[in-house]
Structures are given as C-alpha cells and as structure tokens.
Structure 1
Amino acid sequence: MQTLGVAAVSARAMAQAAAHDGFDVVALDLFGDVDTRRAASRWLPIGAPGSLHIDAAQVLAALRELAREREGGVPLVGWVAGSGFEGEPDLLAQGAAVLPLIGTAAAAVRRLRDPALFFGFLAGERIPHPPVSFEPPEDAEGWLMKDAHGCGGWHVRRPPWPKDERLPAHHYYQREMAGLPMSATFIANGRDVHVLGFNELSVRRFGTRPFVFCGAVGPVPIAADMARRVTAIAQALSAEFELRGLCSLDFMRDGDAIGALEVNPRPPASMSLYRRPFGSGLMQAHVRACLEGALPPATPAQAQDVEGMEIVFARRPLQLDAAAARRLAAWPGIHDLPDAGQRFDIDDPVCTLSAGGSDAGQVRMRLNEGRERLLQSLETLA
C-alpha cells in the first residue's frame, strides 16, 4: 500500500478521499478532527486551530519527518497541499524540496496568485472578469478590496478603506459583480482539464467580512454554451499556469454573463460533492494527473444526486462537554468532528454538514434547516 501525505487547514476531505482510494494516509492539519484521524493512520499538527493559519515551521518539521521515513523504505508517494497553501508559494517550494509535492508547482502558484499577472492574462485573452484596479478607485462605491493570497473569502473588504495608504502586497481592487457565485471543479494536467461539474457557492457576511465561504452545492446544471465557455477558461488557465491535479475556478454568473474571479490551484472543498464520478477515486485521479499527466476518460459523467456541504460557524463562544460531543457525533451528515473539551470563539468553524437531494434548492433547504437545528442543540448543551 502506498502512503500519501495530505496537508491543509483542514485535511479531512482529502484524507477520507485518499483512504477510500486505497492510500495509507498521513494527515497534516490544524484540527485533528475525529473523522480526520479515523481516515488517517497518523495525524501531525501544523498550526493552532483558532488561528486558521498554517504554521510554516510545523509544516516543514512534519515533512522532514515523513521524508526520513521515505528514505527508510516507507512507500511514500509525496504530499498534497490543500487549503491554506495557495498564499504560501515560498513554503510550497521549501516543502517540495523536502518531499515531492503532488500538485501545482510552487512557481506556478506564485504566478497564479500575482494579481497583475493573473488579471493581465485574463485581459489579454479577453476572458470576461470584473474590472480590476491597483490604484484606489476615485469613487469606491461598488468596489471590493481583495488579497490574492487569501482564501475562504475572509480577506474581502468593502469600503471605506484607509485613505492615502499604499496598497498592501498582493492586494487589489475589484468591481463587485452582480449574480450568483459559482465554481467549476476540475482536474488538470498542465495542458488540459477534465471538468467534474459546476457548483453554486454559499457566502455570507460575518461582521465586516461580506463574502465568507460557507459551503457549496453541486453538481448543478448550466446551459451547454456556458459550460463550454467556463471549460475553455479552465483549459486556458491550466495551460498558462501549468495547473495540475484537482483545482477549482471561481466565477460569477449573472444571467448568461460570467466573470472569472480566481483559481484555487489545489483540491477544493467542492471535491467532496463528487463521489467516484468516472468510476475511480478522486485522489487517485489527482495523483495520476500530477505524476503521469493522465486525465480521466472524456466520457459522460455518471449520474448522481445533487450534494451539498455547509461549514457550521459558532454564533457564540462554545465549549463542548462530553454530552455535546456525543450529540454532535450522532448528528446525521456530520463531518469534521471536534473532540470533547474543544473551545470555539464566535465565528470559529465548528463542523461541516452534508446533505443530498434532487436539486440545489432542496439541498440548500436541508442544509439551512440542519445548521439551525444543530446550532440550537449545541448552544443548549454546551
């Protein structure tokens, strides 16, 4: 059995997918949730849970430990970088020098997350996207400030912003676009892509943060012409930025119009919506695309119900006692299970809910109802 390392702010989805595909999994993340440890043969911490930020020193120490084991004969293929690494190209490069990185190379991530290069490419290829500026707009109304190294939408800000201050590194201004936030989940081999499907994204306001990512529902149907246009954008980006493995393209949909927003050059949260869509496992497909350049066959995707996932955030400070932890573990469709005794501040992620249904509306309703019932239960017990 081959061993695979998976590293992220939360590595549970990758760990479960890799274990399902027959890998012996070593999980590196911040939380060490119950189901993450259950899927992995070992868990190594790479940051404090409350920080929502990976710690570079801990990442490199963990990778060095795995590299020594590989040198000792453990059949370790390498490691996959997930959420939290998209803004850390230097750390990706350092990690890849220690242990083979199975995914988009650090140099490509650095180029992709350079907003001038990324949006310059979109403009040069006439790929539709909301207008971007690197100077403060004279009239800030309708503009957003974003950090190209951020993830999860926590970095997006509406005005007012500090005046007469230099724009922070890798930040930019972008005109807000009306419509529905969506994504395309795909596998890339540096030249071409295999699109798994299209998803509707859930974003909500948390305090001064207007667009925090809370979940996704998919696959959802879109018109054939729009599917072709989004796929062509993913292909162009894959070739230009040498994307490899599981990735996602975030875009806005406003009627027939689309606007490209960003690419996540790593396994996205939406991967959990797709269960063996082409007869084999997602992490096996990720590894093959990265190491062999092989994409899944271009055959019609297997039919599946619509799936949805929703991150549940604490509405007030919580601490799980044993009774609350047991109640949580028994909840239907629960993932990212915390241990008893864990504390949560307001807006901390507590767990993830999943639901299925015949269409996106039904799935959203089930997720919303489940989230509210779960939070009420936790706030009663915790």
Structure 2
Amino acid sequence: MDLAVIALCARPLVASAARAGLSPLSLDLFANLDTCAKAARCVRVHRSNGAFDGDDLIAALTNLGPAGLPVVLGGGLEDDPALMERIAARNPILGNGPATVRVLKDPLALAALCGALRIPFPDVSLNAPDAAFAARPALEKKIGGCGGGHIRRRAAGDLAPPPDGFFLQQEVSGDIYSLLMLTNGTEVRTIGACRQWHAPDDTHPYRYGGMVGPVALPARHASAIEAAARDIALACGLVGLVSVDLVIGADRWWLVEVTPRLSAILDILDADPLPPLLTAHLAACGGQMPGPLPMPKEHRACAVLYATAEVIIPDGQWPSATADRPAPGTVVKAGAPICTVHAAGTAPAAAEDQLTRRFIEVREWLGLEAVELAG
C-alpha cells in the first residue's frame, strides 16, 4: 500500500490513485464495488450520526495501515478536527491539517478573512440574529458540514439562535460554481471550474445533486473570482488540491465556502490529457508544482441518484455509466445515495443531456419510476 485515503465516499480519490498507479488503503462508509476493485484494501467504517465512528476509523487505520503511512483526506472530517488530529498523530496527512481546517470552517473567522481580503461573503452569525438579519432570507448550516444535506432555510423573522454546532448565513441567489486550484503554499494554479446543482427533497432542500465541467466562469466576474481564490489560498498557506464554492448572480458574486481538501470535482476534471490529479496533489504538498496543465478533452457531468423509498440492489451487471455501486442485496434507505451516474459530451449542455438519458436508464435498471433530473 502506498497511502491511505479516507472520506465519507472514497471512490473518487481511489480512482485517481489507481489512475496514478498507486495502491491505496480505502476507508469510507460504503466500501462500494468499484471502490474495492481499485483499492489495495477497502474497508467500510462504522457510522455515527451519519459521519465516521472515530474509534472505528482509528482502529481500522491502526490495524491495516502501518505507522507513517501517509493519508489523503476527502470529505467528511471538516466537522471533526479532533479526529484529524488523532489520524495525524500516527499517520501524516498529505494536505491541509486540522489547524487550517479549524480556521476555514469557523464561519466568523472565514468572514473576517474575506472582509480583510475584500472578498464578498454573505453575512453570518453564531448567535440569535437581530431583526435586520432575520428579515432577510437566511440559511442554517452545520459548521464543517459537507454535501448540502445539512442546510435548512430559516423561517422569515425567526429570532432563535442556531442549534449548537450550526451557524446562520444570509442566503444569496445565483448559480453555484466550484473552482478547483492546486497550490504549494506559495504558488496557486487554477485547474478548472464546474457548475453544480441541488437534488432537493422535502427535508433536504440544498442537498448536493451533481456537477458539470469544465465550464467557464461568467466573464464579468472571472478575473475577480480567480484573484480572490488565490488570495485565500496564499493567506492560509493552503497546499494540494483545494476548491472554493461560489454563488454567482447576474450582477454580483459571493464566496460561500472553502474546501481545503480533495472533493467530488475529481469526477469531472481528473481526466486525460490532465495528469492524475492525486499525483499533482501529492507533489504540491511536497512543494512541487507542475508546468501548465491542459484542459480535459471532453466535458463531463455526474449526478447522485438518491433513493426516494427503500431500494434493494438487484443482481446483475451495473450499467457502465455508474459509479459508487453497492453490492447486490444491499438495502439503501430512503434519502440515501444509491449511486453516481456519469456522462460526457462535446460541450457542457451535451454532457448534461447525456446525463439525463443515462439517469433514466439507471433508474429503469433498478426498477424505479422515472423522475426529472435536477439541473
């Protein structure tokens, strides 16, 4: 084993590692078929309230990974820097450590940093809002949350404080973009941008749905956004692959989140003729930056298929357009992800059209009723 990858869903990281010729130990909550197929060892870690059971994660890493085996993190630990510290005590984290994550996932600290750098950032509060704050549309978010399933819209005029571990952020309107960067702490290189969308249900109105890319940022805002992302990366000394999430309207834009680790954007941009992005991440963490990087030859799109009712995975060969494939007989509870569906095209719109068709095909294979794909 060359390294360990840890994420709620490790498959995109494992796929990038395999593309780079590496043999990873994979620790996540699913141990899906395609994750296990590309990992040297694949282990499903126990859950605790939808996240990692920290003790089980540490036990798995200790039992299966030698001391000193480097670790690369994906999503799922930003709300628990203490667990990151437990990992780093035995196995070095190649990427941004718990101290950096604490700052970037502290909404007041990030707001202050954006203010100092003159980066537009929606107003936030950890306390009961005043009347002026409550009169505007606001969201309630988990500190360090990922995937959007934790976000709720506040009722107009609600003056109650957010629950412990949550904060309030003014809601802003526009399209959602993610901008991926590679940095070694002193240099920053833009890799590409993707446009995201939600897959809402009755209780998760801002749940992550999917993305398409590479796409161009809106021209009137692109240079300011790229400069802001560089300023954030350099101010925080970020290393490796990192991304910023943005909401871009017709006349304004806002930075809404910094993701200081590898993310699902690998599904879109980790493709030929680019070199394996995990290799670039590891090099940047060691201070090395590659030369100019080309754009992928095609545009790619992916979307998460969620269960609207309990689903039992059938026997048979999964459609080729799928990833994150559970084993036959797996019971997927209502609201949980079933799999990820992929498509490609000569332009973003063509990739999205292909994604819609493949989404229907996968639902039919699973015996599910057709539903409209959010976009």
* TM-score in same-fold range (> 0.5): yes
Match of 1:294 among 288, 291, 311: 288
* Mapping for residues 221-260 of structure 1, pairs under 5 Å: 221-223=216-218, 226-260=221-255
Three-state SS of the structure 1 residue aligned to 2:194 is strand
**Mapping for residues 98-177 of structure 1, pairs under 5 Å:** 98-134=90-126, 135-138=128-131, 139-160=134-155, 165-177=160-172
Secondary structure, in 3 states, of the residue corresponding to 1:202? strand
Q: How does 1:255-270 map to 2 (within 5 A)?
A: 255-270=250-265
The CA deviation at 1:247 is 1.5
For 1:38 and 1:197, locate their aligned partners in 2 and report how far apart those are by CA, in whole Å: 28
Shift of 1:16: 1.1
Structure 2: unaligned runs, 5 residues or longer: 370-375
Query: Are 1:273 and 2:271 matched, yes or no?
Result: no
- Partner SS for 2:199: strand
Q: What amino acid is the match of 2:103?
A: R
Preserved CA contact (<8 Å) 2:321 2:358: no
What is the one-letter code of the residue matched to 2:255? A
Deviation at 1:86, TM superposition (A): 1.5
CA contact (8 A) 2:129 2:160 kept: no
Equivalent residue for 2:204, pick from 206, 209, 220: 209
Select which of 58, 62, 66 maps to 1:64: 62
Cα offset, 1:284, TM superposition: 0.9
- What's the secondary structure of 2:153's corresponding residue? coil
Instruction: Name the counterpart of 2:333.
Output: 345
The one-letter code matched in structure 2 to 1:187 is L
Which of these residues, 86, 103, 117, is aligned with residue 78 of structure 2? 86
1:294-340 CA-partner distances (Å, limit 9, x unpaired):
2222x252452111111110121111232xxx14x1x1311111101
User: What's the % identity of the aligned pairs?
Assistant: 28
Separation in structure 2 between the aligned mates of residue 28 and residue 90 of structure 1, nearest angstrom = 18
**Cα pair distance change 1:302/1:158, threshold 3 Å:** closer
Change (3 A) 1:5 1:137: same
Amino acid in structure 1 at the alignment position of 2:71: W
Equivalent residue number for residue 373 of structure 2: none
Q: 242-251 or 96-105: which moved more?
A: 242-251
Q: In the superposition, relative to structure 1, how do residues 250 and 318 fare at CA in structure 2: closer, same or farther (>3 Å)?
A: same
Superposed CA RMSD in Å reads 2.3
* 1:241-283 per-position Cα deviation (integer Å, ceiling 9, x unaligned): 2222111100011125211000111101011211356642111
Contact 2:136 2:156 in 1 (8 A): no
- Aligned in 2, Cα 1:361/1:380: closer, same or farther, shift over 3 Å? closer
- Whichever residue aligns with residue 94 of structure 1, its letter is R
User: Are 1:320 and 2:310 counterparts?
Assistant: no
Q: Distance in 2 between matches of 1:30 and 1:64?
A: 17
Shift of 1:378: 1.2
Contact 1:147 1:156 in 2 (8 A): yes
What is the DSSP-based 3-state SS (H/G/I as helix, E as strand, rest coil) of the residue aligned with 2:275? coil
Unaligned runs of 5+ in 1: none
Shift of 1:185: 1.2
Counterparts in 2 of 1:303-382, with a 5 A limit? 303-322=296-315, 326-327=316-317, 329=318, 331-379=319-367
User: Which has the larger share of helix?
Assistant: 1
Give the conservation status (yes or no) of the 8 Å contact 2:16–2:270.
no
1:193 aligned onto 2:188 = yes
- Structure 2: distance between partners of 1:84 and 1:258: 27
Change (3 A) 1:180 1:88: same
1:6 corresponds to 2:5: yes
Task: Give the length in aligned residue pairs.
Answer: 366
If the length of structure 2 is used for normalisation, what is the TM-score? Answer: 0.91
Cα distance in 1 between the residues matched to 2:163 and 2:297: 44
- By how many angstroms is 1:8 displaced? 0.6
Alpha-carbon shift at residue 111 of structure 1 (Å): 0.9
- What amino acid sits opposite 1:12 in the alignment? R
Contact preservation (8 Å) 2:140, 2:162: no
Shift of residue 224 of structure 1?
A: 5.2
Matched residues in 2 for 1:39 and 1:240: separation? 36
